[in-house]
């Protein structure tokens, strides 16, 4: 079966790491052309160092580059209260030895897309600043993109404000460029990602695993639970993993085609992904397939299997 060309744009971030691990465990199906970083969960410097530390730990040479250090218009927003001061608290990684291919992530993305044999799928798991810039500076890339499977947005709630999810809220202007681009989008918003949540027992099992990748993932996730526990939660959403899992197992999900518009106002609704969900309202054709439900147990089973495969491949080297 032909592999799917993918580029991952992320802000690692604990759940970004879990998404990267799932993709890395499925390189028989995903041809990972490269990874870019963007300011989000932590500063660009920190999330880029985190990617380099992860690549060093996993002994990887997949090309990577750093992208935007701030959103298009507003000041950067970060999520240190969730992902820690480093942006990837909970595990002692080796000093980063892996070197970036470029410090211009937008040109890096453009070159990987234009050089690829066949079309490319983008997997953004952070604010959409890099993708918005890519489409603005190099619009010719759009026709080379098969689809965008992104984590972001929410139809009926928010996690950074009552109405907006963090990745969109961090850079609504960039998100508007992406959602108005005409490129096919599958949106993994909070309706589905909050259901893709790991529990304490599963984390403890990972932490006691013999495999170093599973132990690392469990330790990062244990640290990630602190914020959620303080909010009274007892399960912990693997938000970004959904955007990769959908590409591997679309049948695991239920979704709807909606017209999604990004609120770029500076008021209370800033960053909202407003969806035309009413039959009577349909003025505009849909621009996104919005995932709304997932078989959680099946999702976790596939995720744990992926970690086991990485345990074997990393430990066997």
Nearer to ligand RIB, 81 or 205 (CB): 81
List the single partner that 159 binds among ligand RIB, Ca ion, none, CB under 5 to 8 Å by kind.
Answer: ligand RIB
Marked catalytic residue, from 78, 83, 239, 289: 239
Radius of gyration, CA atoms only, the chain: 18
Question: Where in 47-106 is the site for ligand RIB (CB under 6 A)?
Answer: 79
Instruction: Answer yes or no whether residue 273 interacts with ligand RIB by CB under 6 A.
Output: no
Instruction: Answer yes or no whether residue 189 interacts with ligand RIB by CB under 6 A.
Output: no
Both tokens assigned to 215: 């132990």
Nearer to Ca ion, 41 or 121 (CB): 41
Nearer to Ca ion, 13 or 132 (CB): 13
Instruction: Answer yes or no whether residue 194 interacts with ligand RIB by CB under 6 A.
Output: no
Residues 212 and 300: their CA atoms lie apart, in Å, by: 19
Is 78 annotated as catalytic?
A: no
List the single partner that 223 binds among ligand RIB, Ca ion, none, CB under 5 to 8 Å by kind.
Answer: none
Instruction: Answer yes or no whether residue 191 interacts with ligand RIB by CB under 6 A.
Output: no
Q: Count the neighbouring beta carbons within 10 Å of the beta carbon of residue 304.
A: 16
> What is the chain's percent helix, strand, coil content, to nearest 5?
45, 20, 40
Instruction: Answer yes or no whether residue 13 interacts with ligand RIB by CB under 6 A.
Output: yes
Residues 85 and 293: their CA atoms lie apart, in Å, by: 32
Nearer to ligand RIB, 2 or 231 (CB): 231
Nearest to 20 by CA among 304, 243, 246, 170: 243
List the single partner that 166 binds among Ca ion, ligand RIB, none, CB under 5 to 8 Å by kind.
Answer: ligand RIB
Contact 41, 152 (CB under 8 A): no
Instruction: Answer yes or no whether residue 16 interacts with ligand RIB by CB under 6 A.
Output: yes
Backbone region of residue 105 per phi and psi (left: phi > 0; alpha: psi in -120 to 50; beta: other values): alpha
Residues 155 and 290: their CA atoms lie apart, in Å, by: 9
Nearer to Ca ion, 238 or 275 (CB): 238
Instruction: Answer yes or no whether residue 125 interacts with ligand RIB by CB under 6 A.
Output: yes
Instruction: Answer yes or no whether residue 240 interacts with ligand RIB by CB under 6 A.
Output: yes
Residues that bind Ca ion (CB under 5 A): 11, 13, 16, 125-126, 240
- CA dihedral (68, 213, 230, 163) positive or negative: positive
Peptide bond into 13 cis (omega under 30): yes
Nearer to ligand RIB, 38 or 64 (CB): 38
Question: How far apart, in Å, are the Cα atoms of 128 and each of 42, 125, 158, 180, 260?
Answer: 15, 8, 17, 13, 15
List the single partner that 79 binds among ligand RIB, Ca ion, none, CB under 5 to 8 Å by kind.
Answer: ligand RIB
Both tokens assigned to 265: 């106002």
Number of residues that bind ligand RIB (CB under 6 A): 16
Q: Which residue number has the CB closest to ligand RIB?
A: 166
Positions touching ligand RIB (CB under 6 A) are: 11, 13, 15-16, 40-41, 79, 125-126, 151, 159, 165-167, 239-240
Which residues belong to the active site? 239
């Amino acid at each position: 079966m032909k592999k799917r060309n993918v580029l991952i744009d992320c802000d690692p971030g604990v759940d970004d790491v879990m998404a990267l691990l799932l993709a890395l465990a499925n390189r028989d199906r995903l041809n990972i052309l490269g990874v870019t970083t963007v300011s989000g969960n932590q500063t660009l410097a920190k999330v880029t160092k985190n990617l380099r530390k992860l690549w060093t730990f996993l002994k990887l040479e997949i090309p990577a580059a750093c992208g935007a250090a701030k959103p298009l218009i507003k000041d950067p927003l970060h999520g240190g209260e969730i992902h820690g001061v480093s942006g990837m608290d909970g595990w002692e990684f080796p000093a980063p030895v892996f070197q970036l291919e470029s410090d211009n992530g937008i040109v890096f993305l453009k070159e990987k897309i234009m050089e690829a044999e066949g079309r490319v799928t983008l997997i953004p798991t952070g604010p959409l600043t890099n993708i918005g810039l890519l489409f603005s500076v190099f619009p010719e890339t759009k026709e080379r993109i098969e689809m965008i499977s992104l984590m972001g947005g929410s139809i009926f709630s928010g996690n950074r404000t009552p109405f907006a999810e963090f990745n969109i809220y961090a850079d609504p202007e960039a998100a508007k460029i992406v959602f108005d681009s005409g490129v096919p989008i599958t949106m993994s918003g909070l309706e589905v990602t909050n259901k893709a949540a790991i529990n304490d027992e599963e984390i403890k099992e990972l932490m006691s695993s013999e495999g170093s990748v599973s132990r690392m993932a469990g330790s990062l996730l244990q640290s990630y639970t602190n914020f959620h526990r303080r909010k009274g939660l007892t399960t912990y959403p693997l938000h970004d993993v959904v955007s990769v899992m959908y590409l591997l197992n679309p049948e695991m999900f239920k979704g709807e085609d909606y017209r999604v518009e990004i609120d770029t106002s500076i008021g209370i609704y800033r960053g909202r992904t407003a969806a035309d969900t009413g039959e009577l309202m349909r003025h505009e054709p849909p621009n996104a397939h919005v995932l709304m439900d997932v078989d959680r147990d099946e999702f976790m089973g596939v995720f744990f299997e992926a970690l086991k495969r990485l345990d074997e491949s990393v430990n066997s080297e």
